[in-house]
Structure 1
Amino acid sequence: MKTIALYDGTCSLCKETKRILKKLDWLNKVEWISLQEYEKEPGSISFSRHDLRRELHIITPSGSVKKGYYAVRRLLFLFPASFFISILLYVPFTSILGDPIYKWIAKNRHKFLKKKCDDGSCSL
């Protein structure tokens, strides 16, 4: 079973993140599903619509859910090209900085993508 990554299919930053991470997934370990499609699936794990749009969610093969910084860290761990970088993200206390930085970028993505977010999908 693959890790499932739920991303906002209307968000330019999310789509770009998916594009970059797919290039690193040489072993095809991750299945990318837009949260818009995921929400239509019967019996899917229910998440708050707001939470899904606020940060990346992954569902591991064991069924655990990781969000935001922890999801990105886990994805980087799965890919051979980023494995060693991900090890640094598992050093104790790195999440003290990593998680707030991830949340700040996600919250302010509309500022970074002014030209690509004309439909308002990046503003939460």
Structure 2
Amino acid sequence: MKYNVIYDGNCNLCVTLVQLLENLDRGERFEYISMQDLEELKRFGISSGDCEMGMILIDAQNPEKRWQGSDAAEEIGRILPAGEVFVAAYRAMPGMKWMGDRVYEQVRDNRYTLFGKRSSTYKSVYAVGCRAIDNCDNSKD
């Protein structure tokens, strides 16, 4: 199964996490779209305003099935090998989901202040529709 991850390509934290996920997954399960790629977002009916609520995860086989914000982060964790055990344990702890949601919101709303803003938008080597062997315009800074 494939999933599309929409992330902030100008956010240092977001890009670092995408790069970590790229290294773990190698494009097997996840492909990426930066929220700055407005043309690509249009294909999914997503506006830049929609992205303000946090990262978005889309089931590529069933694009109506989506997760956003901390729910997207949890679903990504669940999809990773052996991740389901950790996500289930996190969700089972009383109050953790509520606290995780609040922490996510604070980081989302203050990401540039806390982690800085990149001078150029990062485009994944595993961009939607682009394989690592293709001649895609990838900006790995």
Q: Given the two structures, how large is their TM-score scaled by the length of structure 1?
A: 0.76
Contact 2:6 2:55 in 1 (8 A): yes
Shift of 1:19: 1.0
Aligned with 1:80: secondary structure?
coil
Deviation per CA, 1:51-102, whole angstroms, max 9, x where unpaired? 3144111112332111110000000111115332222233275321111111
Distance 1:83 1:24 in 2: 15
- How many equivalent pairs are there? 117
Read off the aligned partner of 1:71 and give its amino acid letter: A
Percentage of identical aligned residues: 25
Distance 1:73 1:32 in 2: 17
Contact 1:24 1:80 in 2 (8 A): no
- Name the structure 2 match of 1:96: 98
Deviation per CA, 1:30-66, whole angstroms, max 9, x where unpaired? 11121223x2138522233133144111112332111
- Name the structure 1 match of 2:75: 74
CA RMSD of aligned residues (A): 2.6
Decide which moves more: 6-15 or 87-96: 87-96
Contact 2:10 2:118 in 1 (8 A): no
- Name the structure 1 match of 2:88: 87
Task: Give the direction of change, closer, same or farther, for the CA distance of 1:25–1:47 in structure 2 (3 Å limit).
Answer: same
Task: Give the direction of change, closer, same or farther, for the CA distance of 1:84–1:46 in structure 2 (3 Å limit).
Answer: same
Aligned residue runs from structure 1 range 36-51, under 5 A: 36-37=36-37, 39-41=38-40, 44-51=43-50
Read off the aligned partner of 2:24 and give its amino acid letter: L
Q: Given the two structures, how large is their TM-score scaled by the length of structure 2?
A: 0.68
Distance 1:79 1:42 in 2: 24
Aligned with 1:108: secondary structure?
helix
Aligned residue runs from structure 1 range 44-59, under 5 A: 44-59=43-58
Structure with the higher helix share, 1 or 2? 1
Distance 1:9 1:76 in 2: 20
